[in-house]
Structure 1
Amino acid sequence: MTAEAAVEPIQVSLYGSTQSVTASIYEYRDVHGRLYQASKTTEYIFPVDEQHLQGYDLAHEYMLILFSNKFHLAPISNPQTILDIGTGTGNWAIDMATEIPSASVIGTDISAVQPTFAPPNVSFQIDDAQLDWTFEPNHFDFIHCRFLYGGIDDWAKLYRQAYTHLKPGGWFQNVEIDIETLSENPKVQNDQNHVFKTWCQLFWAVGDKTGRTMRIGRDGTMERLMKEQGFTEVVHKSYKVPIGAWAKDRKLKQVGLLNWHYIDQSLDGFAVYPMGQVLGWSREEVGELVDRMRRAIRDVRSLSYYTVKVVYGRKPEAGQ
């Protein structure tokens, strides 16, 4: 089956503006029973249906625990103008708005999947971060983005626009996943034919083919890009995130359990479009790959994990 034949556009509702969630165009594509945003600017490869969005909520919860209930690691105090790029279900933006009631928080995304009710100081806008931003330059105290891998074709432009729209002295933080699944079990880690190796290599190939790299969390790329765009005081941190409750550390055990639920219910959504529509696999082949990966992460002997990379930097004050 061709990619064109497999995609059936579904128009849920129509509105006249693209400026806010309550006045936006809701259009979705059905790909083998999973719903995908029908953006006119970015063909995003991960679904926006209820199953996948619930996974994002689980990921938000494990990130809070991982960061010791901090919403950001950048050393910014009491930011009043905050932008969350690729806000998804809006959890991070809502948490920041609740934490700092005096702040104005904007969350942008190509999908209108945010809740209808939110604190009065947070607003959601339908916007594609890959296009030229329409915000005023030098406007935000803090810009945040998380888990955009596979959705950005020009990361240097993204970082450059963040720099432009920050106030002098403002901070930018990016959090991404290195999608290679690793193992504390040498037998698994050294097996070059293991599904963990196959999985990440396939996704790297998808990123290469679409021009939206899946390697952003590797090889110091985020740190290098941030420095190249002029950010100073750049800090890079790396966190091991277990898949499953196998870690001895109590906090990592909690993180791992939530992450296991997130990955387990999201595997199909991760694979359907990239493998089927980009690489041309049949639905049956995709299902077999997902089943192999699911069995592997459910195997208590796998001791699996991946790394989360955090980079933050500061736009210098005038004259610095």
Structure 2
Amino acid sequence: MHDCHSENRRLEKVSNSALISGMDRPTAQQTAQGQASSAAAAANPPIQPVPQVAGNNDNNVDVNFDSGIEVERHHITLLLLEKKLYLAPIGKYPQRILDVGTGTGIWAFNVAEETPSAVVTGTDISPVSQDGTLAQHPNFIHINDDAQEEWYFRSDHFDFVHMRYLYGAIDDWGKLFRQAYTHLRPGGWVESLELDIEIHSENPKFENDPDHIFKKWWQLFLECGQKTGWPWDIAREGRQKRYMRDAGFRELVTKSWKLPIGGWSEDKKLKEIGVHNGEFIWKSIDAFTIHPIGEVLGWSREQLATLVNKMLKALMEPKTFPYYTVHMVYGRKPKRVLATTEGTQG
């Protein structure tokens, strides 16, 4: 893990320096474009390192994590969901909430603050905070646990099971949703939010080019998933919904959003989201690339730097209009459960 972080820092210097130096010295043809970009940046300042949730800005708890990357992604997701932490109709007073793959714990922490009636449990294979701040919150519990293994919780225990951004980290999605079903009480809800990591373009010139870097990028991650057994395509072709239905969930609701990269959208909300997402991509693309492509596919540091530079330049190219899609599915465990096997209705 530490070797990976060191490699990340070295790669960041290689990949970003070349692109930044090119941006600092625009050609005459780029001057107008650079002025427009500067104006857009001035109108859309970077996000702050402290997450805020719908009027909750007491700042009475230190939530500066080891990395600001997940904080930024959390902020982007809040903007996308219009400052809601979840969309499943779980009711006003849930008692037990589980956040699977909690990461830094930022989502679970915010839910614990917003929902004092609930004990919020976050599971992850890594600790949530080196300073232990989150672990001290009175209704937040962190458990070091691998969601791919058997869950030790009681059956029919939770009111709400939440999971997001687990692409590339789960080997058996069917098992994951079956376990969520087993450990939810009858009438409880599950919610899954995942990113389709294939980058699309609003411009048909780029979108329909099979040799464009956007297409090649996705194919590399697809190959990584095939090699490791941890697929990156959970958000594609209705897989989330299908796995949930197969596990026994009903009242399924599917929602999808376009997630722009950069401030190109004419829609005010999407423009703001795009500016933040562009900053997030800039800061995270190296770490996002090193493990799957560098370690799994065996690419050298120089090859990775070239790939990252090519991707960043494509993202910043005028009239590319790049975006991701985000897919959410939430569903309910029936209140009256028929005889099942591991939560799968017959």
- Aligned match of 1:236: 254
Shift of 1:155: 0.3
The total of aligned residue pairs comes to 279
After superposition, residues 1-320 of structure 1 pair within 5 angstroms as 28-31=1-4, 33-34=6-7, 53-78=67-92, 79-114=94-129, 116-118=132-134, 119-318=137-336
Normalising to structure 2: TM-score of the pair?
Answer: 0.78
1:268-296 CA-to-partner distances (Å, cap 9, x unmatched) read 11111111211111111011001111111
Counterpart secondary structure, 1:193: coil
Q: Tell me the secondary structure at the aligned position of residue 234 of structure 1.
A: strand
Aligned equivalents of 2:187, 2:5: Cα separation in 1: 47
Amino acid at match of 2:330: Y
Larger radius of gyration: 2
Secondary structure of the residue aligned to 1:120 is coil
Q: CA RMSD in A?
A: 1.7
Q: Which runs of 5+ in 1 are unaligned?
A: 1-27, 36-49
Task: Give the structure-1-normalised TM-score.
Answer: 0.84
SS in 2 for 1:33: helix
In 1: Cα distance, 2:212 partner to 2:65 partner = 27
Q: What letter corresponds to residue 67 of structure 1 in structure 2?
A: L
Task: Check whether the contact 2:161–2:191 (CA below 8 A) recurs between aligned residues.
Answer: yes
Please report how far the alpha carbon of residue 32 of structure 1 lies from its aligned counterpart in structure 2 after TM superposition: 6.7
Distance in 2, Cα, partners of 1:99 & 1:171: 18
Identity of aligned residues (%): 50
Displacement of 1:299? 2.3
